[in-house]
Chains A and B, each alone.
Chain A
Amino acid sequence: MDDAANPTPEGEASSAADAPLGKRDRSTRATPAHRRPSVIGVLGEVLLTLGVVTLLYVVWQLWIGDIIYGAQRTADAHSLSEEWQQDYEASAAASPTPSPTASDSPEPTPAAVEPVILPQPADAQIFGTMHIPRFGADYAFPVAGGVTREHTLDDIGIGHYPGTQMPGEVGNFAVAAHRTTFGKPFNQIASLHVGDAIVIETADGWYTYRFRTLEYVHPNAVDVLAPVPQEAGVAADGRYLTMTSCSPMFSKAERIIAFSVFEAYTPRAAGAPLALTQGVTS
């Protein structure tokens, strides 16, 4: 940075070499630390600094920021899961009904248990966490109501399309999340395999969906949110999960859509489902 400020005073010194002030100029040069900064020099330093900050921003946006955001939100999701488990254990210990003998006989099989349907969440209200073993054994992001970037997608993680069904409900549970930047919850959405488990955890239990297919659509293809995805006007016939994100990466030209079908609801009393604990096999 010293170099940038150097030329001007030196130029002055050489042009004034034959003037009576030459002696003082030489002494000024001997102690450059006390030279007055030139406007050009300061401007150069400011521009260089802005360039470095801009490069730093790019590094942050593409790499470091995602690591920080992702770690924070995964930690948030895990602490929520822990909280729900502790709440459940506390309430189970307080209520006298579940005795060891009672829980032995009617072992709840996943298919037999009717899922608890949560009410529609308020905007930015976190009601669950999403686990996708294909994205990593520790992968977890909070799921909240609303799909605005300001309230949910940028600052929380995964957003639920208002008006679409809730986890386990007959119809379509539709969510959106970033594929790049802001912790990129759906970064690996294109690497899902048919049959991969996608598990929504709430205070009540776990809703397991199985991935079926990907679709690339235009941004206005709202029929992917229909109760039967891409069949607008058809009455709900099953329980679907629709995940939307941007495609291609770093673009808003199209959307990538992942469709999944409901498999089972596991109440908290039965413990985490196998789909979550055994991880991916292939």
Chain B
Amino acid sequence: MYAGLWRILPGPVWLRIIILILLLAAVVYALFSWVFPWVSHIVDPTEVTVE
């Protein structure tokens, strides 16, 4: 999977590394902005109200 990703990236090694870092940053941003908030609505067990 990752070997395949490395293969389809264009350019020399340093350019591939830069592209990978950018891809990784995009993935982490997406996780922090959308995926993790959505998950935490579901799994966070704390309750703060009396009822």
Inter-subunit contact B50/A255 (CB<8 Å): yes
Contact between chains at A181 and B44 (CB < 8 Å): yes
A53 touches B7 (CB 8 A): no
Contact B46 A178 (CB under 8 A): yes
Interface size class of A (residues with CB under 8 A): 35 or more
Cα A154 to Cα B37 with chains together (Å): 9
In-complex Cβ contact of A182 among B6, B40, B45 (8 A): B40
User: Is there contact, CB below 8 Å, between B50 and A224?
Assistant: yes
B50 touches A222 (CB 8 A): yes
> What mask results when residues 36 to 49 of chain B are scored 1 for a CB within 8 Å of chain A, else 0?
11011100111111
Closest to A36 in B: B4
User: How far does the alpha carbon of A177 sit from the alpha carbon of B48 in the complex, in Å?
Assistant: 6
On chain B, the residues within 8 Å of A217 by CB distance are 50
Q: Does B3 contact A (CB under 8 A)?
A: yes
Q: Which 5 A-B pairs have the closest CB atoms?
A: A1-B2, A252-B47, A246-B46, A45-B1, A176-B49
Q: CB distance B39 to A57 under 8 Å?
A: yes
Quick check: B50 and A68 within 8 Å, CB to CB?
A: no
A153 touches B (CB below 8 Å) = yes
Chain B residues, Cβ within 8 Å of A250: 45-46
> Within A155-186, which residues are at the interface with B (CB < 8 Å)?
159, 161, 176-182, 186
Indicate if the CB atoms of A244 and B50 lie closer than 8 Å.
yes
Task: Assess A37 versus B46: contact at CB under 8 Å? Given A64-B32, A220-B51.
Answer: no
Asked whether, in the complex, the Cβ of B40 is within 8 Å of the Cβ of A181, the reply is: yes
B31: interface (CB < 8 Å): yes
A46 within 8 A of B: yes
